[in-house]
Amino acid sequence: MNPATGQPEGEVPNQSVAQCLEAAARAAEAFATWRKTLPRQRAEILRRAFEIMIAEQEQLATLIVRENGKVLSDARAEVAYAAEFFRWFSEEAVRIDGDLRQAPNGTNWLAVTREPVGVALCITPWNFPAAMATRKIGPALAAGCTVLLKAAHETPLTAYAIADILQRAGVPDGVVQVITPDPPGEAVQALLSSGLVRKLSFTGSTRVGSLLIAQAAEKIVNCSMELGGNAPFIVCDDADIDAAVDGAMIAKMRNGGAACTAANRFYVQSSVLDEFTSKFTARMAALVLGNGLDATTTLGPLVSAAQQSRVAQLVERAVADGATVLCGGTSTAAPMHGYAATVLTGVKHEHFIVQQEVFGPVAPIIEVSDIEEAIPQYNDVDHGLVSYIYTRNHGRGMRLANALETGMVGLNRGLVSDPAAPFGGVKQSGLGREGGHDGLLAFLETKYVSTEW
């Protein structure tokens, strides 16, 4: 369904549990051959997929807008970012390392190699339907794994488009298959219990991730989890405020706030609170909410009526707790699932909204008198994906970065995502890393052979 119009954009099959298991069996059969392909061959296929995605960027971006709702500029950026995972892992495919060393006692040699895990079940969310798919498929194919891609029911068309691109790039039948069971719970549990799936890579909520880990435990399925975030955005008294506002707009409003990396809690030192709040609110208030395909739109709708309602309820609760709405705070009427860019002041760390992952265009601002003394507040949440710090003092920034309980830190940057970087969090934000060389290792098992020569 198009979040801007409420109209259907296409149809996809609603596979039964049996059909999903048949797809897993095909993936297992294809794995026997795919794992033996030359690394260079896999690399060239991924490189061709990158080139096709770039050549078809506009078509794919338009499709993303139609089923996700984000503005076209964000969708174009997502396609470019998504394609880069295919390029990065095409280069990593030929760098799967091993090791050969003599045992300490000198009597034998230790040969260490890496092998593909097997069939990978990759479950992706609706907020970045292209990038979250390629961030998983790229390393899986580079490692020699086959893939079952379970797309979000809100954005399945993008998943099928990427599978088509991979097929045209040379991926053999059965190596990448999209499944769209709805509801997905029974099918996913059956796949994890089947013994056919040896890897689970999931991006989504902490609640669902915890459930999947428990289900995967039955067959001890290898798991990678990229879960929720509740990122603090810290503005020190020595920060370049204009740069901090620019960074805040990226960290908060990229993808309309529907990102696990989105800045969720703005901690601003008292002496710069008024300046930051004034400039940031002016930028937020200037955003134009509308259909993502319209040239004048700078903020698209939320993906569904349920998400729109959730964001509205969080703002209402914040106001009841004592917050003041400086801009926004309103929903659009049906059929569009829009919510205006919103800035809240007078928010306290103990307020309900501070403990929630908003996943929408709402920025709660919290005043702090001492940035360093407030470190326990920054860490006083269940999640630990990313933090943002703005300060002109690099030493101060590094001390704060080291004190923050997150897997990633943006120091004077509002964007941390990069295909070459290990993306992931600590605490309830997940297990393992995606991207970089670590992302490839997630789809490989280590084998060691003890031999005498």
What would the pLDDT profile of 376-394 be if each residue is shown by its tens digit?
Answer: 999 999 999 999 999 999 9
CA–CA separation, 49 and 9 (whole Å): 25
The pLDDT score that the predictor gives to residue 85 is 98
Q: pLDDT digits over 211-255, tens only?
A: 999 999 999 999 999 999 999 999 999 999 999 999 999 999 999
Instruction: Find the helix or strand (DSSP H, E) in which 211 lies.
Output: helix 206-216
Whether pLDDT at 453 is above 80: no
Q: What angle do CA 313, 318, 319 make, to 5 degrees?
A: 100
Fold of 231-418: Aldehyde Dehydrogenase; Chain A, domain 2 (3.40.309)
Digit-coded pLDDT (tens) for 22-53: 999 999 999 999 999 999 999 999 999 999 99
Q: What is the separation, in whole angstroms, between the first and last Cα of the chain?
A: 64
How far is the C-alpha of 391 from the C-alpha of 382, rounded, in Å?
25
Give SS3 for 227.
coil
Contact indicator for 120, 199 with CB cutoff of 8 Å: yes
CATH of domain 17-227+429-451: 3.40.605.10
Q: What local confidence, expressed as pLDDT, does residue 1 receive?
A: 82
φ, ψ (nearest 5 deg) of residue 84: -60, -25
pLDDT, tens digit, for every residue of 138-155? Answer: 999 999 999 999 999 999
Q: Is the CB of residue 158 less than 8 Å from the CB of residue 130?
A: yes
Average per-residue pLDDT for the chain:
96
Name the band, by pLDDT with cuts 50, 70 and 90, for residue 452: confident
CATH 3.40.605.10 domain locations along the chain: 17-227+429-451
pLDDT of residue 248: 98
Cα separation, 326 vs 436, in Å, equals 40
175: confidence class by pLDDT, cuts 50, 70, 90:
very high
| CA pair distance 408, 387, nearest whole angstrom | 6
Q: What is the pLDDT of residue 440?
A: 98
CB 146 within 8 A of CB 178: no
The predicted model gives 6-12 an average pLDDT of 90
The residue among 208, 229, 246 whose CA lies nearest residue 359 is 229
Residue 193 — very low, low, confident or very high, per pLDDT cuts 50/70/90? very high
User: Which residues of the chain form CATH 3.40.309.10?
Assistant: 231-418
Burial 22-58 (b: 16+ CB within 10 A, else e): ebbebbbebbeebbeeeeeebbbbbbbbbbbbeebbe
Q: Is the pLDDT confidence value at 307 over 90? A: yes
Q: What is the pLDDT of residue 251?
A: 98
**Where residue 332 falls among pLDDT bands split at 50, 70, 90?**
very high
The sign of the CA dihedral 240, 245, 246, 247 is: positive
Q: Which residues pair with 123 in a beta bridge?
A: 150, 202
DSSP code of residue 321: T
Size of the chain in residues:
453
Q: Average pLDDT of 309-329?
A: 97
Catalytic (active-site) positions: 226, 260
pTM (2 d.p.): 0.94
